[in-house]
Structure 1
């Protein structure tokens, strides 16, 4: 059975960030995700990643949406975008070519 788009994203994130996503990559990563996923899909991805990472406190979809909004208010700089895009391109991210 083929992976869903969300499963593909999760697999790329796991491969590109085996130790988890560092905070400095949040802005460019969300900017890249928002180009190919809806807010609902991004929320599902974030909830899955948090659950898999053993996050201590449960996080609601509303909190994630508020976090996405806060993070995406700041536009990542080109260097940040290139760094994250290159990292994900190395593991097959189809839309992660340098911008």
Structure 2
């Protein structure tokens, strides 16, 4: 899956930025389809655009995904949000 396509979906799906409560679930969903390096690259690009917090917060969030499983309700909420925009979750 081309990374620019993922970034485009995320821009469309979250036109005002990703809500803080969705970061961990979003990263967890992305990690199901992408490598850690790809997730980090996407997160860095979105952070540069102001859609995510700065890269230090992103690094913490990626670490949290590997150490903490988001709740099913968080995953479902983010999956539904992305699916509405055609993102294959």
State TM-score, norm by structure 2.
0.84
Alignment of 1:22-37 (within 5 A): 22-37=19-34
> For this pair of structures, how many residues does the alignment match?
89
* Structure 2, unaligned runs of 5 or more: none
* Structure 1, unaligned runs of 5 or more: none
Partner residue of 2:14? 17
User: Who wins on radius of gyration, i.e. which is larger?
Assistant: 1
Q: Is contact 2:25-2:78 (8 Å) kept?
A: yes
In structure 1, C-alpha distance between the alignment counterparts of 2:51 and 2:72, rounded to whole Å = 32
CA RMSD of the aligned region, Å?
Answer: 2.4
Runs of 4+ with deviation above 2 angstroms: 54-57, 63-67
Which structure shows the bigger proportion of residues in helix conformation? 2
